[in-house]
Every structure is written in C-alpha cells, then in structure tokens.
C-alpha cells in the first residue's frame, strides 16, 4: 500500500463519517489541511511549508501542463 493509498483510505473514511454526522465535507477538508500544516510545522521551517503549499497551489489545475513535465 502506498502513502497515497493510505491517506486516501483515511480521507474517504473521514468524509463518509462527516456525511453521516451532517458535517460539511468542505469543513472537514479545511480542518484536515490545517492539521497537515500543523504537523509539517513540527519538523519543517515555515518558509519550507509555504513553499510546499505554493507548489501544490500552482500545480493543482489538472488541465494545465506543468513546468516540471516533459513532452
């Protein structure tokens, strides 16, 4: 099982539980993002976490070719 598979398993479980408890999925996703950032900050510098977040934000459009992709 990959790290992505493991994370997806827990994310899906959290969203399923949220739905059953009438908690908005957007609220759960925002909370999880905050928790991930908090966990990153335990071992990484603020500028490093900011850089990671910028990279993800800059490359989140699935319809855009990214600078790091080769033809």
pLDDT tens string 13-63: 999 999 999 999 999 999 999 999 999 999 999 999 999 999 999 888 888
Residue partners of 44: CB distance under 8 A and separation at least 6: 52
Closest Cα to residue 41, out of 31, 56, 52? 52
Where along the chain do its domains lie? 25-61
Which two three-digit tokens encode residue 15?
A: 């969203």
Quick one: 39 exposed, middle or buried, by C-beta within 10 A (0-12, 13-18, 19+)? exposed
**What are the residue ranges of helices labelled H in 21-45?**
25-41
pTM higher than the cut 0.85: no
- Do 44 and 58 contact (CB within 8 A), yes or no? no
């Amino acid at each position: 099982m990959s790290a992505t598979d493991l994370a997806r398993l827990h994310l899906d479980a959290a969203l399923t539980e949220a739905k059953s408890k009438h908690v908005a999925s957007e609220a759960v996703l925002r909370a999880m993002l905050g928790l991930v950032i908090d966990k990153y900050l335990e071992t990484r510098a603020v500028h490093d976490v900011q850089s990671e977040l910028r990279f993800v934000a800059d490359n989140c459009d699935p319809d855009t070719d990214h600078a790091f992709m080769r033809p």
